[in-house]
Amino acid sequence: MSMSATLQDCLRSKGLQYEIVHHPYSHSSVETAAAAHIPGDRLAKTVLFEDEQGYVAAVLPSTYAVRLSELWAKTGRHLLLAKEADLRELFKDCDAGALPPVCTAYGMQTYLDESLALQPDVYFEAGDHQELIHMGTDQFLDLMERAERARFARRMQGLPM
């Protein structure tokens, strides 16, 4: 599978500038950053949560972890990690575990951690495990304009930046 059609539509409709970065197959965002030779703080990962009201996406650097208490306070919801089987159904044009951050295009409320806005550029999954999208932070923030910006993540100890 290559770039998700949903992501491609979002990029095209906004006329954003980006490049595609190819890398060896990887299983996790930390592995992806290493395989693509990019700083983990600049690789945005998407984590999906759910509750009885539906799904919420959190977009944060690959070197960070979600602080659930912060996300619960921000959303007013007691969110739990979404099940892998649900992800396959929701993101039909993506490989499992390679979710692009444009979850608003999939009809989901999306939160963007402010730490990504501080990076000079951002990389993120294109919808498979071998391609990343790379763009300047201004372009990325334009792409993510419908996401709510917040602080809900913390840097994990022991990971390279």
Tokens 């951002």, located at residue: 122
When divided into structural domains, the chain yields a total of: 1
Kindly state whether residue 141 falls inside one of the protein's structural domains: yes
More confident residue, 60 or 1: 60
**Domain CATH number, residue 70:** 3.90.960.10
Alpha helices in the chain (DSSP H): 5-14, 29-36, 68-75, 84-90, 137-143
Please report the sign of the dihedral spanned by the C-alpha atoms of residue 112, residue 33, residue 41, residue 69.
positive
pLDDT digits (tens, 9 = 90+) for 17-63: 999 999 999 888 889 999 999 999 999 999 999 999 999 999 999 99
pLDDT band at 87 (very low <50, low <70, confident <90, very high): confident
The answer to whether 25 and 131 are in contact (CB under 8 A) is no
Kindly state whether residue 88 falls inside one of the protein's structural domains: yes
Kindly state whether residue 123 falls inside one of the protein's structural domains: yes
Locate 27 and state its tokens.
Answer: 């299983």
Locate 156 and state its tokens.
Answer: 């994990």
Kindly state whether residue 48 falls inside one of the protein's structural domains: yes
Q: Are strands 43-51 and 54-61 parallel, antiparallel or unpaired?
A: antiparallel
Kindly state whether residue 18 falls inside one of the protein's structural domains: yes
The answer to whether 143 and 16 are in contact (CB under 8 A) is yes
pLDDT digits (tens, 9 = 90+) for 101-159: 999 999 999 999 999 999 999 999 999 999 999 999 999 999 999 999 999 999 988 76
Domain that holds residue 51: 5-155
Kindly state whether residue 34 falls inside one of the protein's structural domains: yes
Kindly state whether residue 160 falls inside one of the protein's structural domains: no
Kindly state whether residue 161 falls inside one of the protein's structural domains: no
